[in-house]
Amino acid sequence: MGYDGIDYNIVFPEALTSEKHWRGSKEPVVILLGWAGSRDKHLAKYSSIYNEQGCVTLRYTAPLKTVFISESLGYKELRSTSQKLLELLFDYEVENNPIFFHVFSNGGFMLYRYIVELLHSHNQFSTLCVVGTVVDSAPGSQNVIGALRALKTTLGPKINVLLQYFLLALFAVAIFLLRIVLYPVTKYFHKNHYDAMMEHPAPWPQMYLYSRADRVIRYRDVEKMVKVLREKGLTVESFDFITPAHVSLYRDCPEDYSSRCRTFVTRCMSSSEETMTKKRLQVQH
């Protein structure tokens, strides 16, 4: 589906399935933010985890140019995309449902960063009640080699070899200069997603799923984020799948992965009524 320049897909569960799992409560809306280069058919597999649990799912992947070019150069193009995604909740009249995020790799995490900022600061979205987030294979910080591997995989084998190496070299230089050498200065204009979310994290429960075999996102970056958030007093879970490659946790360990996601969203939902009540009281005051 297309809406104001963004291409997304939304799936509503069957009424009987929703009633079976949530017993009259509003079913959660799970927003899946794909990794750079992911197609909807990829996200649909993850979406089914939640659809079978009676959840509404909204799937979206940011365009490659916004992830690899706009963000790298400091253009906050993803911020307007984030606002459009949140506005969809009102368009489909599910803004009063509990909201849950499932975020993939840095491509999804960059978008998630702006969504969190909007939820913190934008009056229109102050009534939305987010109950939790699953983060898959993210976030990574200032990893030029990992970013190059991600871009190379995304470009694919069909692109001309010379063009591929030219684009990779150009991207490497830009990232190295803007995000490492000049970052002590550029961070005052555009802080990277990792630092921004570490300084102003989401307050709801989070679960980080990762693998130490990931060659795109360093597992130490994920573990550092988890450690810092826990030190801030936030509810954060994590699990290292050890052997899968980047964004391959579900492919390699489907039953374990699905079980962890379903269990986590159920735990988050168990306290959703209390969370939503607190949110309404905050708005009234």
Q: Does residue 16 sit within a domain?
A: yes
DSSP state of 36: T
The pTM of this model reads 0.84
Q: In whole angstroms, give the CA distance from residue 47 to residue 99.
A: 14
Q: Reply yes or no on whether the pLDDT at 193 is more than 70.
A: yes
Q: What is the per-residue pLDDT for 162?
A: 73
Q: Does residue 184 sit within a domain?
A: no
Q: Does residue 27 sit within a domain?
A: yes
Q: Reply yes or no on whether the pLDDT at 164 is more than 80.
A: no
Q: In whole angstroms, give the CA distance from residue 126 to residue 76.
A: 21
Q: Does residue 32 sit within a domain?
A: yes
Q: What is the per-residue pLDDT for 165?
A: 66
Of all residues in the chain, the percent with pLDDT exceeding 90 is 56
pLDDT band at 25; cut points 50, 70, 90: confident
Q: What is the per-residue pLDDT for 244?
A: 97
Q: Does residue 242 sit within a domain?
A: yes
* Interval 117-133 mean pLDDT: 93
Q: Does residue 178 sit within a domain?
A: no
Residue-wise pLDDT for 65-109, tens only, equals: 776 666 665 667 888 999 999 999 999 999 999 999 999 999 899
For all residues of the chain together, what is the average pLDDT?
85
Amino acid code (one letter) for 39: R
Q: Reply yes or no on whether the pLDDT at 148 is more than 90.
A: no
H helices within the chain, ranges in order? Answer: 15-22, 40-51, 64-65, 71-73, 77-91, 105-121, 144-155, 161-176, 183-186, 193-199, 219-231, 249-252, 254-270, 272-284
CATH number (domain holding residue 96): 3.40.50.1820
Q: Give 3 or 103, the one with higher predicted confidence.
A: 103
DSSP state of 124: G
Q: Does residue 226 sit within a domain?
A: yes
Domain containing 243 equals 2-143+191-284
Could you give the angle at the alpha carbon of 99 between the alpha carbons of 95 and 102, nearest 5°? Answer: 140
Q: Reply yes or no on whether the pLDDT at 3 is more than 70.
A: no
Q: Does residue 185 sit within a domain?
A: no
Residue-wise pLDDT for 208-226, tens only, equals: 999 999 998 999 999 999 9
pLDDT band at 192; cut points 50, 70, 90: confident
Domain count, the chain: 1
